[in-house]
Amino acid sequence: MEKKRWTALAIAVGLFFVSLIAQFSSTVATTQWGELISDENDFAEEVREDGTGSEKVAVIHLNGVIQSDDVGGVINASTYNHRVLLEMLDHAKEDEGIEGVVLRVNTPGGGVVESEEIHDQIVSLQEEDKPVYVSMGNTAASGGYYVSAPAEQIFAHPATLTGSIGVIMESINIAELADDLGIDFNTITSGEYKDIMSISRPMSEDEEDILQTMIDEMYDDFVNVIVNGRDMDEATVRELGDGRVYTGSQAKDVGLVDELGSLDDTIEQLQQDYNLENAQVVEYEYSLGIGSLFGMTAEKMFGDELQLSGLTEMLRVSNSPRAMYLYTE
């Protein structure tokens, strides 16, 4: 009887792996391998609207959780690539034919440093007299709003979720559970605060004060970005920036966005404002690479569970504190 059980288990495991291989093979078979690897850039420039002359407007998409390439694994590979996004923005700055940029933002935010890097690239574009307009998608919250704030104009859909102005840092404490299970943690540190936010013990008041000071400093930076980018009063920004989210309509009412409209409306407005009605509109698109292939294959096979685990992986990437400009439901 025992032998039959093991045989059945082996067959089940074998069928599971055969299924995985079949799904992966299907993806491989439908992939255009000639376009798999780009020789020059990790993105391609596609024509969205024809124009006359040499002037161009670039459309760049920011989709997915804002994070460094070494944080999210394959989960976010098919939707967001931080390095490539920065390259797109830099390319738009260096391309003499680009006269303006529309950034399509669809993100709940992400890392503080990564959001600041995108923000700085946008400001750098503007310093080259290249206006940046933002078109918000389903979600442009927290870090998504941080990178949008310096734009000359921000468009949102009435149902866009935006705002969530603030900083979050969190960890899990399992000390009581460990006690119940009889689990002991042996930690040796070189200093009193080396294991700050440890999962194995409650946080002290001194540690809370240290971390709160860090969060307050990052929040002040967020506020200043909005004050400077939106030309708003600091007190107003702090009143609005209590962490809540706003719909696009609400955000327009309180001055966080300028207009309600679609991506096409945003492009059209930029063209009208800067006499670029005859400019060609180009769209920067990610080239299909190995990372994207595996990312799409993994998402196809495991679906929502894998996406959730990817976000969890990012949030729990280490036991050390990780501050985020992130909206979580």
Any catalytic annotation for residue 171? Answer: no
> Which candidate in 19, 26, 38, 194 is catalytic?
194
Active site residue 194: yes
Domain limits, the chain = 38-169+244-326
Instruction: Give 146-175 pLDDT, tens digit per residue.
Output: 999 999 999 999 999 999 999 999 888 888
* Residue (of 164, 131, 134) closest to 149 by Cα position: 134
pLDDT per residue as tens digits for the range 57-108: 999 999 999 998 655 444 444 478 999 999 999 999 999 999 999 999 999 9
d(CA 239, CA 253): 14
CB count in 10 Å sphere of residue 267: 24
DSSP letter (8 states) at residue 168: B
d(CA 313, CA 263): 32
Please state, in angstroms and as integers, the Cα–Cα distance from residue 38 to each residue in 142, 153, 270, 281, 290, following that order: 33, 33, 30, 22, 11
Contact indicator for 223, 256 with CB cutoff of 8 Å: no
- The enclosing H or E element of 13 equals helix 2-29
Which one of the listed residues 115, 135, 142, 148 is annotated catalytic? Answer: 142
Work out whether the CA dihedral 316, 320, 326, 328 comes out positive or negative. positive
Are 166 and 222 spatial neighbours (Cβ–Cβ below 8 Å)?
yes
**pLDDT tens for residues 8-56?**
556 555 655 655 554 554 444 444 434 333 445 689 999 999 998 899 9
Judge residue 304's burial from the number of C-beta atoms within 10 Å of its C-beta, 0-12 exposed, 13-18 middle, 19 or more buried: exposed
pLDDT of res. 39: 42
CATH, domain range 38-169+244-326: 3.90.226.10
| pLDDT digits 0-9 by tens, 245-300 | 999 999 999 999 999 999 999 999 999 999 999 999 999 998 755 455 555 555 55
**Tokens standing for residue 256:** 């966080």
Q: Give, as one character, the DSSP assignment of residue 327.
A: -
pLDDT tens, 167-181? 999 888 888 888 888
